[in-house]
Structure 1
Amino acid sequence: MAKARAALRNAEQLVVHHDYTKEDEAEETLDESGDPLEESGRTIDSSDEEIEESVAEDIARFEESFVGITKRYRLINRIGEGTFSTVYKAEDLEYNNYNNRWDTDERENRKWTSPGHRKRSVKRPHYVAIKKIYVTSSPMRIYNELELLYDLKNSDSVCPLITAFRHLDQVVAVLPYFQHRDFRDYYRDMKVPEMRLYFRSLFTALRSVHSKKILHRDIKPTNFLYNPEQARGVLVDFGLAEREGTDWHQCACTLSSEERRYRISHSIHAQTQQSGHQPACYPKNDTRSSRRANRAGTRGFRAPEVLLKCTQQNTSIDMWSAGVILLTILSRRFPFFHSADDIDALLEITTIFGRKKMKEISLLHGQVFETNIPSYSDNGHSLEKIILWCTGRTKTETGIKPELEEDEKEAVQFLYRLMECDPDKRITAEEALRHPFITRAFEDDEADDDMLDLVRG
């Protein structure tokens, strides 16, 4: 109760953003996902691919430490390595002993195979992904991930949990193996019609996740395994996910505008301001405790409210991260944001949206944003201008002002809905799937089908 009363007291006044403490740094390390440039992001369609000697030794150690795993699975290669786990490709040796409703590839194969050929077909290997969760992860974190995966079974475009095993202090989760390509191999070449398909698949997954009031918290290209040839992707890695409402404390963003204005006018920050022309002043001995909030995720993909330590974060944080992916594709730059910490991350966003917007959003969450860096303008820059600059489309010698293509303009308008700094105004996954930018993907599919029928005719 004492903690609850303290939280309520802190909610009654604006909290000035403090420098990190050692405790903050420890929390950051715990919840920081791997750098997107360092993670593996592709699979190989081969059962006998060559593997590095160090990987073979790693697999041998794993097989030796986890008694009995070799009876059920033949480990083939290491296909992913992150902060909290390592993922291996393996052949399921007991596949035919179980009902495998999770196997979408098998269902597709059977759909297009004649009954006669199906009976004559030889037994083929079936692959799974084995996720070895590091013992440094807390038991509650592991339990939470497995429970959420179980709850999300049968969800569209979400990686289902097949089963899980524990041996001593080691836990492994068995998941479907999905063919996909490294995001870095194709994102620079994606045309707008291909972007529509990519995000239709991603938002289908997020709609399923968000409908169950679950925040993924780590949306980024390496956690969305996409196969451009099939225009199909699957959302993975729920190691940082949580249910909406977990450990919530009241944040100023949930107050009415009148109540928020009253608290701003009676805050410590307002009281210490000498005049509107003076620089910001702060208490010399501030006795208030620093704000604690979940800051899990990956640098460069965190929403403004996460950086500002909003204590009532919701599913809209995933939509901002999806917007960063779209900005990455349109600008042909990966990663687009590459900050060292939350302060730098806020300043990177300020470069785009301007000081005025960041001050408004900070006050929305009961924080104060001040910067004296002269290069940051009040209004920032338009996303159109940034994309043109990033893709090298500047003024020509003739003085003609460059412009985006028409379909790019439509993508940018959609991007503004995703990268809306106010989470209440940000588009939802359900709304995104009804947005013209996404629905046009269905029109493109129908046009392709008509052309195919014409060719066959």
Structure 2
Amino acid sequence: MAKARAQSRQAEQLVIHEDEMKEEEEEFFDESGDPLEESGRTMDSSDEEIEQAVAEDIVRFEDSFVGINKRYRLINRIGEGTFSTVYKAEDLEYNSFENEWDIDDRESKKWSSPARRRRPSKRPHYVAIKKIYVTSSPMRIFNELELLHDLKFSDSVCPLITAFRHLDQVVAVLPYFQHRDFREYYQDMTIADMRLYFRSLFTALRSVHAKKILHRDVKPTNFLYNPQQARGVLVDFGLAEREETDWHQCACTLPPEERRYKISHSVWAQTLQSGNQPSSYPKSDVRSSRRANRAGTRGFRPPEVLIKCTQQNTSIDIWSAGVILLTLLSRRFPFFHSADDIDALLELTSIFGKKKMRDIALLHGQVFETNIPSYSDGGHSLEKIILWCTGRTSSDKTQKKIELGDDEKEAVQFLYRLLECDSAKRITAEEALRHPFITKAFEDSEADEDAVDLVAE
């Protein structure tokens, strides 16, 4: 009976009539919230007294969505972003449905007797209710719900429980996961802690990328991590899309010979042949402007997004994960804090050097030039950046050279694979899970289990 009701609930609530959706011009630039501002809005909350403004917001939400308080008891506001607000709520009808999404319940039942497993659960069960703003386009909302539905059985990915629509208001019901604010623990994480963090993150990305889906907004606030359980879940697929969505051929996918031919016969090459400076513009440029998806969060976008590659793939999420690792190793959050795409390119240039950025731009059929004298051609090594950020550099040349520890060196080797400017050479999520930096997390876990077994014996 419960199974039948669950199927009925899903079929009823997930239907969105296409004839009611207006075709709109696709948005190519969706700026997600500032990572520093969002971090303080993802903390766990309980039944304790909440702010008056939040209480009033909950009342307005319940008034605008008739009947929702009969199914859920809204408790607190736990997240607020550019496109949605998230509330913690108690599921009042939990025992009326099958709940395969409930990881904690599955774990507890492993150690319960068969009789107890059949009994209805008496403890409160919490969910996260995501209220999607009515200003979001119908196609964006439909896309997010469809992707979440496709990912419902994926490891370390927040599944969609159900969704409701009342007039022009849409809410998605998701599991509530206990986690800590990234700012509370990122400066204290050891290399061993980082291995566990990224084992969980890349497990999620492997599941998402296996279905040819780009998350597009990987950042600490979208990966809800519980350090005590060494478990995290990837959330917020509001900017996600399927690979090959609105692709147009980019020079980066051409054979090397054809790419070199195009470069040698480009407007840029003709400008150089005329004796002008590389940064000068042709007198008459009849080329159309280049449009590409630039969705995401400032500081987490890879070079190919900033340079407007028109054939972006899942490797953009790998770069974003690399920025998180750089943040953890450098103890600086946010590490990049640019105002726009130009600033972001210059931030990357200061690290990777002008030559690398020129080469990457040409790879995508673009030209990159800067006359800022402080930027070198070769840039700086990531080891040097981390030592400088953590205050381990000295101007005294008589002192012994400071180096990273062995574990840190291994982490940096992994970081180079993540922050590879050429997306075609960047490591995949599957390969990342086989990298020594991650596999040692599995070895440590097995050692801990063996130690527990010895104690039990």
Report if TM-score (shorter chain) is over 0.5: yes
| TM-superposed deviation, 1:278 | 4.2
| 1:361-380 map, 5 Å | 361-380=360-379
Distance in 2, matches of 1:267 and 1:243, equals: 31
| TM-superposed deviation, 1:273 | 1.2
| 1:320-359 map, 5 Å | 320-359=319-358
Look up the match of 1:95. 94
- Residue 226 of structure 1 pairs with residue 225 of structure 2: yes
| 1:404-415 map, 5 Å | 404-415=404-415
For 1:452, the aligned partner's letter is V
For 1:445, the aligned partner's letter is S
Distance in 2, matches of 1:237 and 1:210, equals: 15
For 2:373, the aligned partner's letter is P
Q: How many percent identity over aligned positions?
A: 81
| Secondary structure of 1:333's aligned partner | coil
Look up the match of 1:443. 443
Look up the match of 2:44. 44
| TM-superposed deviation, 1:144 | 0.2
Look up the match of 1:204. 203
Deviations along 1:324-349, one digit per CA (max 9) or x if unpaired, are 00000000000000000001101101
Contact map agreement 1:45 1:179 (CA 8 A) in 2: no
Distance in 1, matches of 2:453 and 2:41, equals: 36
Contact map agreement 1:273 1:281 (CA 8 A) in 2: no
Distance in 1, matches of 2:230 and 2:174, equals: 21
Look up the match of 1:10. none
| Secondary structure of 1:206's aligned partner | helix
For 1:174, the aligned partner's letter is V
Judged with a 3 Å threshold, the aligned counterparts in structure 2 of structure 1 residues 240 and 138 are, in CA distance, closer, same or farther, namely same
Judged with a 3 Å threshold, the aligned counterparts in structure 2 of structure 1 residues 334 and 314 are, in CA distance, closer, same or farther, namely same
| 1:175-214 map, 5 Å | 175-214=174-213
| TM-superposed deviation, 1:112 | 2.5
Look up the match of 1:423. 423
Contact map agreement 1:273 1:280 (CA 8 A) in 2: no
Distance in 1, matches of 2:86 and 2:278, equals: 51
| Secondary structure of 2:402's aligned partner | coil
Distance in 1, matches of 2:116 and 2:146, equals: 39
Distance in 1, matches of 2:120 and 2:86, equals: 30
Judged with a 3 Å threshold, the aligned counterparts in structure 2 of structure 1 residues 215 and 377 are, in CA distance, closer, same or farther, namely same
| 1:133-172 map, 5 Å | 133-172=132-171
Deviations along 1:234-279, one digit per CA (max 9) or x if unpaired, are 0000000000000000000010110011011110111011578945
| TM-superposed deviation, 1:282 | 1.4
Deviations along 1:380-409, one digit per CA (max 9) or x if unpaired, are 000000000000001375511110010000
Contact map agreement 2:224 2:233 (CA 8 A) in 1: yes
| TM-superposed deviation, 1:441 | 0.4
Unaligned runs of 5+ in 1: 1-25
Distance in 2, matches of 1:340 and 1:248, equals: 27
Distance in 1, matches of 2:339 and 2:173, equals: 34
| TM-superposed deviation, 1:118 | 5.8
Distance in 2, matches of 1:120 and 1:170, equals: 36
Look up the match of 2:455. 455
Report the more deviating stretch, 392-401 or 354-363: 392-401
| TM-superposed deviation, 1:447 | 1.7
| TM-superposed deviation, 1:451 | 2.6
- Residue 243 of structure 1 pairs with residue 246 of structure 2: no
| TM-superposed deviation, 1:82 | 0.1
Contact map agreement 2:271 2:278 (CA 8 A) in 1: no
For 1:90, the aligned partner's letter is A
Distance in 1, matches of 2:95 and 2:338, equals: 48
Deviations along 1:286-332, one digit per CA (max 9) or x if unpaired, are 22221000000000000100000000000000000000000000000
For 1:389, the aligned partner's letter is W
| TM-superposed deviation, 1:38 | 1.2
| TM-superposed deviation, 1:280 | 2.9
RMSD: 1.8
For 1:436, the aligned partner's letter is P
Look up the match of 1:67. 66
Unaligned runs of 5+ in 2: 1-25
Judged with a 3 Å threshold, the aligned counterparts in structure 2 of structure 1 residues 274 and 135 are, in CA distance, closer, same or farther, namely same
| TM-superposed deviation, 1:42 | 3.9
| 1:296-311 map, 5 Å | 296-311=295-310
Distance in 2, matches of 1:447 and 1:176, equals: 31
| TM-superposed deviation, 1:123 | 1.0
Contact map agreement 2:155 2:203 (CA 8 A) in 1: yes
| Structure showing greater relative contact order (alpha-carbon pairs closer than 8 Å, 6 or more residues apart) | 1
| TM-superposed deviation, 1:49 | 1.8
| 1:25-36 map, 5 Å | 31-36=30-35
Using the size of structure 1 for normalisation, the TM-score is 0.91
